[in-house]
Structures are given as structure tokens and as C-alpha cells.
Amino acid sequence: MIAKIQHNNQNFEVDLSKPIDISITLTNTDENPIAWYIEKPVIEPVRFGHWVGKVSEGSSSTNFNNIFFNPHGHGTHTECLGHITKEFYSINQYLKTFFFTAELVSVEPEPRGEDLVITKNQIEKALDGKFPEAIVIRTLPNVDEKLSRKYSDTNPPYMEEKAAVFIRERGIKHLLIDLPSVDKEKDQGKLLAHKAFWNVKNTHDLNDDARFDATITELIFVADEVEDGSYLLNLQIASFENDASPSKPVLYKI
């Protein structure tokens, strides 16, 4: 189905019958990706004595599961600045629109000592003068192992502070990336890229120009066959009153 879209004084067409889901499925298997030193998710039937909420076990007419997971460590999630602040701020309260122009870019993080870093120059070059509302960053090499990788204690690539500042100053409100964090795994709590993107100078006493309406989405996966370029992004979250929610970002080629 071809839809004609008018958005922010732009007119374009997208084929709504060809969604490109860039989220990672959450499972209770060893194939689930894991970050931040936790165990895999738990999905199991409710049990009341001899009653088990699972049709295949014969005592229930319905499947009735509990799910225990962590948004930040178990899969694709979208977070607001409440992720790093003393005061509570909810992604459900601050993400109120869900369609954005987006630019998908592929970047190979550069060696810097023992680290691999996404730099300002790489992001600036990849955007090539464009001003989208969202940027979707696919890191190279782009391997299927990202779908099940165990990131804890591996020092994954991350984004330098200058790159996050550039993205913010570009007016980009939504940053999506296929890493467990935009910041270094062990950085003594500095969180330089998070703070730079949200324009948070003091996590205990927020400045007036902090970006409440900006989001970071981590642990996405963009398959190789999806070409770099311009898309319409539908950023879907669950209605959790929490700093972050599991999410399902979907792209539509413009």
C-alpha cells in the first residue's frame, strides 16, 4: 500500500506493505543477546499449586506466562533522559509522537588504543549535509552474531562525546544504534555521549535546555540488504512508566 506522506513540510511516498523491522526478538533462550552482566530473560507459565498456565501441560485452557527481563540488557529498547537523572522521567510520558524522518548510515568504528570509537567526522561524513529527525547507525562489520551476542566484559564499540554533540547540534532528536550503549562499557559512570546527546549538564539538577523529547534506542539490528539512505521511522514502544521500554523501530523506505 503506497501512502503519500506530508511531514514537516516535506512530501514523500512510502510503501506501508514493506516494513523493515530493525528490532531484536526477545526470547528465553541462549540465543538472546545479553549486556550488563545479567542472565537471559525468563518466560515461564504461572503456577498455582498443581495448576500450570500452559495448555500443553493439560491443566489450563490458556497459555498464561510471566516474563522477567531487563529493557537495557536484553534487547532493543528506547530510553529517555530519565535513564541518567536523579529525578524520575518516563519514556511513556516524553515520547508522544512516533513517526520521524530517518537517515540510515553505516559506520566502521575507528581504533583508539584498545577501544573502537564512532567519531564526529564519521557521522558528519555519513549524513552528507542531511538534517533528519532520527539517525540509525549500523556498525561495521555487520555480523548476524549481533542477534545473540553476549556483550558483558567485551568493551564494545561506542560513540565519542563530540559525535553525540554533533548529532544534537544537528537537531536530530532520535538516535538509534546496534550497540548496547552509546557510551563505553566501563567509563566510571561518565556517560559522556548520553549526557551530550540529551544536553544534560548535571544529572541531579537538570538545566532548562535538557532534551526531554529526545530518545536513544540501543541494540537494534539492521540487515545487510537494507541500504543506507532515507527512511520513514515508526518508533514503537510499550506503555511502561519507566526510563526505558522495549521497542520495535520499523523503517519504511522513502
Q: Is the pLDDT of residue 5 over 90?
A: no
Do 175 and 218 form a contact (C-beta atoms < 8 A)? no
Q: Is the pLDDT of residue 7 over 90?
A: no
Decide if 39 is inside a domain. Answer: no
Decide if 49 is inside a domain. Answer: no
| One-letter amino acid of 110 | E
Predicted pLDDT of residue 8: 82
63-89 confidence digits (pLDDT tens): 999 999 999 999 999 999 999 999 999
Decide if 234 is inside a domain. Answer: yes
131-187 confidence digits (pLDDT tens): 999 999 999 999 999 999 999 999 999 999 999 999 999 999 999 999 999 999 999
Decide if 10 is inside a domain. Answer: yes
Q: Is the pLDDT of residue 120 over 90?
A: yes
- Whichever domain contains 156, its CATH number is 3.50.30.50
Torsion of CA 33, 34, 39, 40, to 10 degrees: -20
pTM: 0.97
Gap between the Cα atoms of 202 and 148, Å rounded: 35
Do 247 and 235 form a contact (C-beta atoms < 8 A)? yes
Decide if 131 is inside a domain. Answer: yes
For 91, the 3-state DSSP assignment is helix
C-alpha cell at 55: 495448555
Predicted pLDDT of residue 151: 98
Predicted pLDDT of residue 1: 84
Q: Is the pLDDT of residue 48 over 90?
A: yes
| One-letter amino acid of 185 | E
Number of domains making up the chain = 1
93-114 confidence digits (pLDDT tens): 999 999 999 999 999 999 999 9
Mean pLDDT of the chain: 97
Query: Among 181, 186, 188, which residue's Cα sits nearest to residue 158?
Result: 181
Q: Where are the beta strands (DSSP E) in 140-240?
A: 158-159, 174-177, 215-218, 229-237
Range of the domain at 80: 2-34+71-253
Q: Is the pLDDT of residue 59 over 90?
A: no
Site of grid cell 510520558:
93
- From the CA atom positions of the chain, what is the Rg in Å? 19
Q: How far apart are the first and last CA of the chain?
A: 13
Residue 173, phi then psi, degrees to nearest 5:
-95, -20
DSSP 55-74: GGGTS-SS--EEEE--HHHH
Decide if 191 is inside a domain. Answer: yes
Residue 72, phi then psi, degrees to nearest 5:
-75, -30
Task: Read off the pLDDT band of 6 (50, 70, 90).
Answer: confident
What is the percent of the chain with per-residue pLDDT over 70, rounded to a whole number? 100
Predicted pLDDT of residue 58: 83
